[in-house]
């Protein structure tokens, strides 16, 4: 695994002992990823390990090819990694009397979270080539990244992920099937992420009048069409991809009314209106609306 340096970063999440312990033998640190035993110097930090894992998953040649492109045409993954390298070259700005660290930025957090999701998804299975191809594709990246994120959430919750390849599957189908390790129950999962100008790999100018809108009902309608058969529970995840916009003096996070955010109310009211107007039941078991502002 490649190392980046010795600077420390606050990580999410901190524990390294789950799901498999990283143990030391002499001066090496070992981790099991799928069918491989990865080892590194004991002083290597977890964020260095994640960076190496991203490089190993996507391939060094792809990163080298990306560096030849203009910055605006580089995949968001490459820009995030550049932000991490840039941060590590600077002197630390936080000192907790134990070690000097760096304040986490949005792009760096996005990169480390991406690496952590890849880590979880590859603990027991190899990431399908079809998923890797979409992650490295400039246009397909945003949708693939969100799919990977939601799949990793299920993996951390004790599910096995059965990826469905669009090029091989016939008819409508969800992104993946998640099977719980203990109960063996399965659920179909469909993910949709709203593309907005100026965000991720969308080369245009950020438009304030559109970036706080909950205009995702078209994505919901497309997601519904992917419901699996056999009466399998069906979960839809939609990310509006809007920037953080917390008003001042709002109550505790878990108590914030939906009306505080117009885009949230827009989505809620639109979904409820559609359900009430329909003459038949909707195929999904639940709809989850998320937002990863960083």
Q: Is the pLDDT of residue 126 over 90?
A: no
Q: What is the pLDDT of residue 248?
A: 73
d(CA 52, CA 45): 11
Residues of the chain with pLDDT > 70, as a percent, come to: 86
β-sheet bridge partners, residue 256: none
Nearest to 49 by CA among 57, 58, 40: 40
Per-residue pLDDT reduced to its tens digit, 135-180: 999 999 999 999 999 999 999 999 999 999 877 777 788 999 999 9
Per-residue pLDDT reduced to its tens digit, 22-78: 554 457 788 878 777 777 787 788 888 999 999 999 999 999 999 999 998 999 999
Q: Which two tokens stand for residue 51?
A: 């960076």
Higher pLDDT, 4 or 276: 276
Q: DSSP letter string over 68-129?
A: TS-GGGS-HHHHHHHHHHHHHTSPP-EE-SS-EE-PPPHHHHHHHHHHHHHHHHTSSSPPPH
Q: Which two tokens stand for residue 274?
A: 């559609």
In the chain, where are the structural domains located? 1-126, 128-294
Q: What is the pLDDT of residue 203?
A: 75
Q: What separation in angstroms does the CA of 31 have from each of 2, 8, 17, 122?
A: 14, 20, 10, 12
| CB atoms closer than 10 angstroms to residue 182 | 7
Q: Is the pLDDT of residue 19 over 70?
A: no
User: Binning pLDDT at 50, 70 and 90, where does residue 200 land?
Assistant: confident
Q: Is the pLDDT of residue 259 over 90?
A: no
Nearest to 52 by CA among 122, 103, 140: 122
Q: DSSP letter string over 19-76?
A: SS--EEETTEEEEEETTEEEEEETT--HHHHHHHHHHHHH-HHHHHHHTTS-GGGS-H
| Range in 14-18, 196-200, 228-232, 233-237 the model is least confident about | 14-18
β-sheet bridge partners, residue 31: 38
| CB atoms closer than 10 angstroms to residue 234 | 21
Q: Which two tokens stand for residue 87?
A: 């941060």
């Amino acid at each position: 695994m490649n190392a980046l340096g010795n600077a420390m970063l606050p990580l999410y999440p901190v524990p390294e002992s789950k799901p498999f312990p990283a143990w030391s033998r002499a001066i090496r640190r070992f981790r099991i990823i799928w069918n491989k035993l990865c080892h590194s110097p004991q002083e290597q930090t977890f964020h260095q390990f994640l960076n190496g894992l991203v490089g190993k998953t996507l391939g060094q040649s792809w990163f080298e090819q990306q560096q030849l492109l203009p910055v605006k045409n580089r995949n968001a993954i490459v820009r995030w990694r550049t932000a991490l390298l840039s941060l590590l070259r600077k002197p630390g700005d936080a000192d907790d009397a134990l070690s000097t660290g760096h304040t986490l930025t949005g792009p760096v957090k996005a990169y480390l979270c991406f690496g952590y999701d890849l880590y979880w998804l590859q603990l027991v299975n190899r990431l399908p080539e079809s998923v890797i191809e979409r992650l490295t594709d400039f246009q397909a990246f945003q949708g693939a990244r969100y799919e990977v994120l939601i799949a990793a959430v299920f993996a951390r919750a004790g599910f096995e992920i059965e990826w469905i390849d669009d090029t091989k599957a016939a008819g409508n189908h969800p992104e993946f099937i998640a099977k719980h390790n203990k109960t063996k129950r399965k659920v179909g999962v469909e993910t949709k992420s709203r593309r907005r100008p100026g965000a991720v790999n969308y080369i245009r100018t950020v438009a304030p009048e559109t970036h706080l809108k909950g205009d995702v009902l078209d994505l919901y309608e497309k997601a519904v069409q992917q419901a699996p058969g056999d009466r399998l529970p069906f979960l839809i995840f939609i990310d509006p991809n809007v920037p953080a916009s917390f008003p001042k003096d709002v109550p505790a996070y878990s108590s914030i009314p939906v009306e505080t955010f117009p885009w949230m109310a827009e989505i809620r009211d639109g979904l409820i209106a559609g359900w009430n107007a329909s003459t038949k039941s909707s195929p999904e078991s639940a709809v989850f609306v998320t937002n990863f502002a960083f």
